[in-house]
Structure 1
Amino acid sequence: MLKPKVVIFRTAGTNCDCETQYAFERAGAKVDVMHINTLLANKNSLRDYQILTLPGGFTYGDDVSAGKILANQIKYHLAEEITTFINKKKLVLGICNGFQALAKAGFLPDFNMPDQEVTLTFNDSNKFEDQWVYLKVCSDKSVFIKNSDVSVIYLPIAHGEGKFITKDEAVLNRITMNRQVILRYVNERGEEAGYPWNPGGSVQCIAGISDPTGQVLGMMPHPERHIEPTQHPSWTRSGLKEWGDGFLIFKNAVQYAKANF
């Protein structure tokens, strides 16, 4: 496949769809931004795509809790179609609000489990956090990270409910042992640390996880906001790299789709 097709869901409150579209197009994909009501009216249209993305934002004003209303739409109206999508070896990416929605819809950490097992809740600081963070790549299980020689990446975060927690210790142990923890917040030396390096207070500094197949990735930091090297906050002092650190997420997804479809 020369140009994999990506569909980006948007709805009221989504505000990162354009940046995410740009990132995938820079990586060589054809991208459609689709309002979720359009998909609900024609669920079969999902079959035309190889990558599904839920971008960042504040869907439905984050009423009830962040991403919860979108999560309910997915869980009660699109679960069968998205499960089929994953079973066909296709990819799903949830960024920030998209991660919150995937977690609360039960697609992470395992879409085969009947109940919600993880969530993203209010930051320990009790305020909106907007800063750049260091992230340690902890596992190559995710298709979005595979074949990368990068150990630490630098991305921005922007959330009020970014604290990752699990239902219980058993879930935490399972995703850890199964190498589903993909990204952890670290300090500039690559060491796990507290606030402000772990801005929400996530358990075990977890910033991103995958499902057991490695095809579904949810992450709170925004890779689409560090695609071009000039988006780095200190590029004039540290010099320009070829790409921003977030680009590898999109490049790997597009390369996977080209190779497999």
Structure 2
Amino acid sequence: MEMPLDTSFPSINEGGSELTRKLTHSEEAKLLKDTNLVSAFTQRKLEEDAKKNWDLFYKRNGTNFFKDRHWITKEFKELIGHDSGSTPGSRQILEVGCGVGNLLFPLLQDMGSNSNCFIYACDFSPRAVKFVRENALYSENNCHVFQCDLTVDNLCDIIIPSSLDFVTMVFVLSAINPEKMLKALRNVFLVLKPGGCVLFRDYGLYDYAQLRFKPGHKLSENFYVRQDGTRAYYFSLETITELFIMAGYETLQNAYVQKETVNKQMELCVPRIFVQSKFVKPCLS
């Protein structure tokens, strides 16, 4: 799950796997200098309190923290039946890390009232799930939300194995301990049908948010803790590809999305880097 950002994303950059943005000398020096890791005791505590910290996040911020992700069906047209082998209206989708519904409800609106598509949605935070259920747009006729820890709970307890056409993972894998990411991806693999696709977007390596962390927030390489106890990992294309391949997927698309967010009041130009990918569950031979 991501911190607030401008969500008017550009189209994907198909220019290969190398970053086009190079670190400045000061940025490179800052990262090289940040070698001291958070203590093992504190890291264990953060892992134990991960659910509580996200629940407190939603208690403090309610439903107004993140912007609605109206861009989702522009970037991933498959969700509404375009550029897809599935028949419009017959799809089953899972949104992993749904938060308070900032992707779920725009997606339902884009699909329209005539769609027979059914969307499952889950989140680590019970409070976030409660907010989704209380939304006036929520209806069990076309969606079902539930609380889930992807690294512990079996998705097959809720969803029929090998039944889903698509799974969206948008700014969620980065919040999971890197040691448990593979287990989460394998959990998702179980509910995807052969030929089903994971639509993925998350923080990219050297994103501005990564460079903002002060010393004392580093948990491991490219993994950091925020002031509120929530955590964030910053992916290279190589890292995310390796994870998905180890979990059994095949790579369909994988590239960096880059943009600049301008704060006119502070006269600050902020470089943002994200990873946007599509990974497919192989069809049965």
TM range (shorter): 0.3 to 0.5
Task: Please say which structure displays the higher CA radius of gyration.
Answer: 2
Q: Normalization by structure 2: what TM-score? A: 0.33
- When normalised by structure 1's length, the TM-score is 0.35
